[in-house]
Chain A
């Protein structure tokens, strides 16, 4: 069964609004989770590392004030896209590391900004 869930699976919003995406670890605690973005017909690109109880670390070129990450509990990380614009429309995927070093990915969240 799934070990990482995401909510919502898809969301449509108006330009300028903020959208929150939840990523939950279902089987055991995850002190570190990862957020990726995938544009159509492109590969996944790492956005940031979410650390429980501390600030997220962002990859170069990712605006931390636009993509707010909160890892307030050992099983939940949230990504908030603030003041979303059409160019933020993408497929957002979170992941965590499993016990045998494999990465477990969530099902993804499709964001469409009108």
Chain B
């Protein structure tokens, strides 16, 4: 599984856009990039997944450059409730072992009033 590197923590203010970048230099051809959000004492929650270029859903956007060695999770207009840990994971979704996820340290996002 490709190793990922994220900032340990980030701070933002309500209403701002937050971009969290993840580095995955040894991503494989079949690997997808997936981001999860985790609140204290809760299980992680799927946010978004992509393979290349840009993916957008109702909560976030995911930007992936052509070389796919990094990705950026973009959270538009964050609120206090977006304070959480965000994990970037890379893996082959078609693999039978895909569910065996390797979590990195994650990024602690703190949103201030």
Using a CB–CB cutoff of 8 Å, the interface residues on chain A facing chain B are 4, 32, 34, 36, 43-46, 49, 59, 91, 93, 95-98, 100-108, 110
Question: Can you show 14 pairs from A to B with CB atoms below 8 A apart?
Answer: A34-B101, A43-B103, A49-B99, A49-B100, A91-B41, A93-B43, A95-B43, A95-B101, A100-B49, A102-B46, A103-B44, A103-B99, A107-B42, A108-B43
- In the complex, A95 Cα to B41 Cα: how many Å? 15
Given A43-B103, A95-B99, 19 more pairs with CB closer than 8 A? A32-B99, A34-B100, A34-B101, A36-B101, A36-B103, A44-B103, A46-B100, A93-B44, A95-B101, A96-B99, A98-B46, A101-B32, A102-B46, A103-B44, A103-B101, A104-B46, A105-B45, A108-B41, A108-B43
- In the complex, A46 Cα to B1 Cα: how many Å? 13
Contacts between chains A and B (CB distance < 8 A), count: 57
Q: Return B35 CB to nearest CB of chain A, in Å.
A: 10
- In the complex, A79 Cα to B68 Cα: how many Å? 37
